[in-house]
Amino acid sequence: MNKTPQAEILNIGDEILIGQIVNTNAVWIAQELNKRGVPVKRMTTVGDTKTDMVNALDQAIQHHDIVIITGGLGPTKDDLTKDVLTEYFQTRLVFNEEVFEMLDDFFKKRGRTLNEANKTQCYVPEACTVLMNYWGTAPGMLFKNKGKIIVSLPGVPLEMKELMNTYVFPYIETHYPLPPILHRSYLTEGIPESELMMRLAEWENNLPAAIKLAYLPSAGQVTLRLSTLNENGNGLAMIKEQEDKLKSILGDEIIGYDGETLEQVIQRIFIEKQLTLGTAESCTGGYIAHKITSVPGSSAYFMGTVVSYHNRIKQEVLQVNEQTLKTVGAVSKETVIQMAEHARSLLHTDYAIAVSGIAGPDGGSTEKPVGTVWVAWATPQGTLTKKYRFGNDRLTNIHRTYQVALGVLRKLVLNIPVGESFWE
């Protein structure tokens, strides 16, 4: 095989076709294949119906070299993928001792015993390579057919990802001559995409043809990605050269590299500087703490949180003045300052963030419409505050609050000026 293989992603599941779930498996597989230089040419979703599956399989194998199938591997009657593949490749199901032992062990560890439905999962097509699934109960399968490979994986995202990482990507990488594509990505926070495009226009127009720039926007953040085929072995140097130019334009506004998240950036900086952090949350209801603690190792710098959803907790646990709550209310500069400063002392941290706002969809007023959020940062140098005005969607408001709270925190810790408006 000496040409770049083309891939198709084939998702099986009625739940996708009725719009009940978003097909995030296809997104992840596409990202990971592209990263490795394998273009995805088509994504197809069909239901748990034999003829539709066979037809989609025919089309996929006819047009593409690598077919990644997810879903339809559960133990229930509507899970047909294994039977369809067995028939399609004219093989038969055989009992696999290794799968049985693994499953038996899987259940024993969880204090359960194998039932009849699970035992059917020990039967696998004779013609396939079994991909042992240590993260669930349905093994994956890899078929080779006329120089093409067809992989079948469970639809549970965690299991699918583990099997792709453990078996499928290594297989693809060793069996195809993939053009080594180099990528480097840069996370920016708080700059609108259109502004970023204008600031980068001149640099972008002068990029060498071998380097490709992509803007990858998501709510409140834009990731810039430089890619190049490393054809002459100088790809890394070429990217480095452009990275330096990019840095001279954006400077401190590049906050992370190569897929780092905001909370990973914060963790890296806090641990480096041996600083500690805590939060006092009202409208975000624990979301900032959750994002921070979703990163392994966060206990090295993150002390804790008080979610003061009710005003009584603001008063009693965070010592917010009763008079303040009565006169200017919970969504106010005064309240978040008191929350942040008391959280900093209660949690014994160097920095503390406090947020209070109206997440919506109800609870707004003319003076404080839905989307109004006050944030305070208590620091060793004093306390800063800012009022934000987001939109009407509850979850978006919560997410944007976390972004600005950590985005500004990063600047404060790195001594990057945030502007006069933040100070009391």
C-alpha span between 360 and 37 (Å, rounded): 43
Query: Which CB sits closer to its own copies, 49 or 91?
Result: 49
The upper half-sphere exposure of residue 300, i.e. CA atoms within 13 Å in the direction of its Cβ, equals: 14
C-alpha span between 414 and 409 (Å, rounded): 9
For residue 153, count CB atoms less than 10 angstroms from its CB and return exposed for 0-12, middle for 13-18, buried for 19 or more: buried
Per rule CB under 8 A, is residue 117 in the interface with its own copies?
yes
Part in contact with its own copies (CB under 8 A); list of ranges 139-147, 249-257, 285-293, 334-342? 285-293
C-alpha span between 179 and 416 (Å, rounded): 40
Map residues 177-206 to x or -, x wherever contact with its own copies holds by CB under 8 A: ---------------xxxx-xx-----x--
C-alpha span between 224 and 213 (Å, rounded): 7
Tell the smallest beta-carbon distance from residue 404 to its own copies (Å).
13
**Which residue, among 235, 141, 172, 237, has the nearest Cα to 32 in the 3D structure?**
172
C-alpha angle 129-133-138 in degrees, rounded to nearest 5: 85
Task: Name the residue type at position 144.
Answer: K
Query: Which CB sits closer to its own copies, 112 or 144?
Result: 112
- 152 forms beta bridges with 69, 141
> Which residues within the stretch 152-171 sit at the binding site for its own copies (CB under 8 A)?
156, 158
Neighbours of 269 (CB within 10 A): 16
| Of positions 285, 319, 321, 329, contacts its own copies by CB under 8 A | 285
| Of positions 12, 56, 61, 163, contacts its own copies by CB under 8 A | 56
C-alpha span between 423 and 420 (Å, rounded): 6
Query: Which CB sits closer to its own copies, 259 or 382?
Result: 259
| Of positions 2, 18, 366, 424, contacts its own copies by CB under 8 A | 18
| Of positions 2, 3, 90, 109, contacts its own copies by CB under 8 A | 109
> Which residues within the stretch 304-343 sit at the binding site for its own copies (CB under 8 A)?
304-310, 312-313, 316-317
Query: Which CB sits closer to its own copies, 365 or 381?
Result: 365
Query: Which CB sits closer to its own copies, 126 or 193?
Result: 193
Part in contact with its own copies (CB under 8 A); list of ranges 71-79, 85-93, 172-180, 246-254? 71-79
Part in contact with its own copies (CB under 8 A); list of ranges 12-20, 168-176, 267-275, 332-340? 12-20
| Of positions 302, 351, 374, 377, contacts its own copies by CB under 8 A | 302
Map residues 34-53 to x or -, x wherever contact with its own copies holds by CB under 8 A: x----xxxxxxxxx-x--x-
Tokens read off for 345: 């002392």
C-alpha span between 420 and 97 (Å, rounded): 69
| Of positions 75, 190, 329, 364, contacts its own copies by CB under 8 A | 75
Per rule CB under 8 A, is residue 237 in the interface with its own copies?
no
Part in contact with its own copies (CB under 8 A); list of ranges 19-27, 142-150, 169-177, 267-275? 19-27
C-alpha span between 364 and 368 (Å, rounded): 6
Part in contact with its own copies (CB under 8 A); list of ranges 84-92, 229-237, 289-297, 376-384? 289-297
Strand-pair category, 181-189 with 254-257:
antiparallel
C-alpha span between 149 and 137 (Å, rounded): 23
Query: Which CB sits closer to its own copies, 21 or 414?
Result: 21
Task: Name the residue type at position 295.
Answer: V
Part in contact with its own copies (CB under 8 A); list of ranges 106-114, 168-176, 230-238, 246-254? 106-114
- 378 forms beta bridges with 352, 383
Tokens read off for 3: 């040409």
C-alpha angle 71-162-171 in degrees, rounded to nearest 5: 95
Per rule CB under 8 A, is residue 297 in the interface with its own copies?
yes
> Which residues within the stretch 359-418 sit at the binding site for its own copies (CB under 8 A)?
360-362, 389, 391, 393-396, 398
